[in-house]
């Protein structure tokens, strides 16, 4: 009798506690405000990451194009091999 009473008491204490610790994400609540806010935060962070990656790609493309442009005539004189004049 004492074991039954103790188990009922223990279950009545622990069952509400486990439900109180659960959040809407655990249950997959699609209507919850916190779920909507989390979705917005995920999209914002994804956009921020893509913006940084796009900036790195654009800078790389800029360096590639600048490296392929021909030298100006005044720069060609400084880059010329001067050993043939010595």
pLDDT tens column, 19-52: 556 665 666 666 777 778 888 999 999 999 999 9
Asked if residue 30 belongs to a domain, the reply is yes
What is residue 44's predicted lDDT score, i.e. its pLDDT? 97
Domain housing 35: 2-77
* Integer Cα distance of 58 and 7 in angstroms: 66
Measure Cα distances from 70 to 16, 67, 75, 76, 82 in Å: 75, 8, 10, 9, 20
What is residue 57's predicted lDDT score, i.e. its pLDDT? 98
Q: Which comes out higher in pLDDT, residue 17 or 10?
A: 10
Predicted structure pTM score: 0.51
Q: Could you give the number of structural domains in the chain?
A: 1
Residue keyed to tokens 């790609």 = 57
Asked if residue 7 belongs to a domain, the reply is yes
């Amino acid at each position: 009798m004492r074991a039954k009473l103790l188990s009922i008491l223990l279950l009545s204490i622990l069952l509400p506690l486990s439900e109180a610790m659960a959040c809407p994400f655990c249950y997959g609540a699609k209507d919850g405000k916190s779920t909507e806010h989390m979705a917005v935060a995920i999209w914002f962070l994804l956009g921020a990451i893509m913006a940084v990656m796009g900036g790195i790609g654009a800078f790389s493309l800029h360096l590639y194009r600048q490296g392929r442009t021909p030298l100006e005539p005044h720069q060609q004189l400084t880059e010329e091999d001067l050993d043939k004049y010595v």
